[in-house]
Chain A
Amino acid sequence: MSTPFYVSPQQAMADRAEYARKGIARGRSVVVLQYADGIVFVAENPSRALHKVSEIYDRIAFAAVGKYNEFENLRIGGVRYADLRGYTYARTDVTARGLANVYAQTLGTIFSSAAEKPYEVELIVAEVGEGPEDDQIYRLPHDGSIVDEHGSVAVGGNSDQIGSYLEQRHRDGMALAEALKLAVGSLSRDSNGGERSLTADQLEVAVLDRTRPQQRKFKRVLGRQLSRLLEEGGTSASAGETSDGDSSGESSASEE
């Protein structure tokens, strides 16, 4: 019988972290930005059915990059956690902070447990407040740490470059079309410095809009409305559809 090789704990953790980071870096990025009326989520995602951005609760949304089955599992766990908490106490007692904590504990335990492979995911949990100063955005890397973010944040492959691009250009109180333009601009930059053009079909966009009259502030921005917003922001992207004003998202875009 052979004795197993000795691996130092530092080495073991470094290996696991590298494994997770490599998995995450393979995927396309997601960016999250604060704008005047809330928080906008933009992902490069050609699929209409498999979402990277989803609703968790009234004011809370979730965005993720990495391995689909792993973050989908965490998303459903989050929806169950939020719904159970809201059912046990009250709807206002469900907070992004609580949810981020549970996610961090879950990711951290899995990361440091030798019996499980580390999750190759990076999550964002965001909650829209009554005003921009009450908005909360938490970034949760694969190892169970939490980073409290403000203004703009990017996760996924190439996130460092996209993050610094956003940080230089993002300011408080941007209109939705403007923020969307910035987000699409950041996503369309390649790591080697080139630019691709992203059309509405390749984007998954959702907002947490504090001006929505409904209790649930999450809304996907789809089809015509998305094309119109992209045109308004003046990007090259368009889905080739004509725009005629109808849906509710317009109000937030026109308050410039």
Chain B
Amino acid sequence: MEANTRSTGRLPAAFLTPGSSSFMDFLSEHAPEQLPGNRPLPPVKGAVEAPHGTTIVAVTFPGGVVLAGDRRATMGNMIAQRDIEKVFPADEYSAVGIAGTAGLAVEMVRLFQLELEHFEKVEGAQLSLEGKANRLSTMIRGNLGMAMQGLAVIPLFAGYDVGRDRGRIFSYDVTGGRSEEQGFAAVGSGSVFARGSLKKLHRDDLSEQQAATVVVQALYDAADDDSATGGPDLVRRIYPVVTVITEDGFRRLTEEEVAEIARSVHDGRLQSPNGPQAPVL
């Protein structure tokens, strides 16, 4: 649906209707077929085969939050892609990582980024972190039909709350249910193992560098026990995507920075393959 298709070339009325600051509201009025949740699905039996992204982890530290994801996408038993990226900046102060059907996830992230940017441009102010998290909820809920056919998308949303001066993490379920997580969170097929690892490694006084190391450890543990999660690939130089959000905004760690962390984690595992040990009592 292009604006300029009418014979007069004039902006259609929907463009000039005052009121909504939401791009999704505008789309649903002007071009509903472009909304991801609005496409009718053909009836199919069983699950649809499509590449799935896997594990995303997040950890807060004083002054911010770290969000990271592994790089593997799988389709059944097969590795569909080794270097997929599943963690994206949502805007200046937040990021979103997505587990689930990769194609739908990427489209959802694109729409989510646009939704936040659109609001910011129209209103001249950013949405609150809660507001952003709620918008994401609505989008997940819109995908429920697909999710019931096996094409679920489960995000993990992390951001810096400018009003409260701290990093926050929100996790979601398939119906769009939202819950705030304290300290750390993980989603995706390897999340069970990642969460176990985070539970033992997370402390309240981590530095940014330590938090980045903790997420790489957790992803390593997830890859260790879950076939659908990829560990750091030192041979091909494919490392997890690690992002940090602080008062200064969103920053993705460079490949060299992550490579260094991954290598030190790897070296540590050469000594003790199960990773750092927690005290018994």
Contact = CB atoms under 8 A, between A and B. Distances in A.
Interface of A: 49, 51, 54-56, 72-74, 76-77, 79-81, 83-88, 98, 101-103, 105-106, 109-110, 216
Contact of B3 (A49, A55, A85, A216): A85
Interface SS of chain B: helix
Interface SS of chain A: helix
A128 B4 CA distance: 23
B188 to A, nearest CB: 27
A81 B11 contact: yes
Contact of B111 (A77, A79, A80, A87): A87
A102 B9 contact: yes
Interface in B1-35: 1-4, 8-11, 14-16, 18, 23, 26-27, 30-31, 34
B9 A73 contact: no
A87 B34 contact: yes
B200 interface: no
Interface string B100-125: 00000000001100100110011010
A55 B16 contact: no
Interface of B: 1-4, 8-11, 14-16, 18, 23, 26-27, 30-31, 34, 110-111, 114, 117-118, 121-122, 124
A63 to B, nearest CB: 15
B18 A84 contact: no
A51 B124 contact: yes
B34 to A, nearest CB: 7
19 contacts: A51-B124, A54-B124, A56-B121, A74-B16, A77-B11, A77-B16, A81-B15, A83-B23, A84-B30, A85-B2, A86-B114, A87-B23, A87-B34, A87-B114, A101-B4, A102-B11, A105-B4, A105-B8, A106-B10
A49 B122 contact: no
B114 A88 contact: no
B121 A49 contact: no
Given A76-B122, A86-B114, 12 more contacts: A54-B124, A56-B121, A74-B16, A76-B15, A77-B15, A79-B122, A80-B23, A85-B3, A88-B2, A98-B4, A105-B4, A110-B10
